[in-house]
Copies of this chain bind each other. A is one copy, B any other.
Amino acid sequence: MPVEDWLPAAARAAAIERTLKSGEALFRLGDKTAGLCEVVAGRVRLARVDRAGREIVLHVAGPGETIAEASLFASRYHCDAIASTDAVVRIYPKTAVLAAFAQDRAAAQAFTATLARQVMSLRTRIEQRNIRSARERVRHYLSVNVGADGRTVALAGTLKDLAAELGLSHEALYRTLAALERAGAIKRGKGKIVLMRARKL
């Protein structure tokens, strides 16, 4: 849900805009929280680094999406936010947003509903990450992310990015997609995947 639809103008007016180069960090785990953040352009990923030094992608946000909602109630960030492409973000300071919620009940409730939806989508992601099989994981991703036509899945970034988002090695993803295409289950296009025969997935 777009920020303009529910965040009162007073809070929106306090926004700070910031541009990020690809690979640049918006914030790091442990930094003090600034506030709610909306992605205006590009893509920003939330990630943590495991003890083996590998990055674990928790979420990828595109234009219109917000990140760091939970940080309104925390003093420190609990993960990294890094631009996956050149990006522009708007930061709504914590105090301004909380003040707006105190005055505008509808805004507060809309925000709560947003969080509730996020909880559901995170559960879905847990379900995905619990799947060991690359094929099933890809299948699950495709079925969750089909567009309105029910057959097309738009790909935001590179396949390598997707592999990271899926928690697979990029080789495994390549192989799985190739196998699915060979089997006639999908067709790959530039920046998209079209489901051909759900039966074969």
Chain A residues in the interface with B (C-beta under 8 A): 46, 48, 50-52, 56, 58-59, 69-70, 72-74, 78-79, 101-102, 105, 108-109, 111-113, 115-120, 122-127, 129-131, 136, 167
Contact = CB atoms under 8 A, between A and B. Distances in A.
A140 to B, nearest CB: 8
Nearest to A132: B132
- What secondary structure prevails in chain A residues at the interface with B? helix
Contacts of A117: 70, 73
Copies in the complex: 2
A69 B108 contact: no
24 contacts: A48-B123, A51-B136, A56-B126, A56-B127, A58-B127, A59-B123, A69-B116, A69-B119, A70-B116, A70-B117, A70-B119, A72-B116, A73-B116, A78-B120, A102-B105, A105-B105, A108-B109, A112-B112, A112-B115, A118-B119, A119-B119, A126-B126, A126-B129, A129-B130
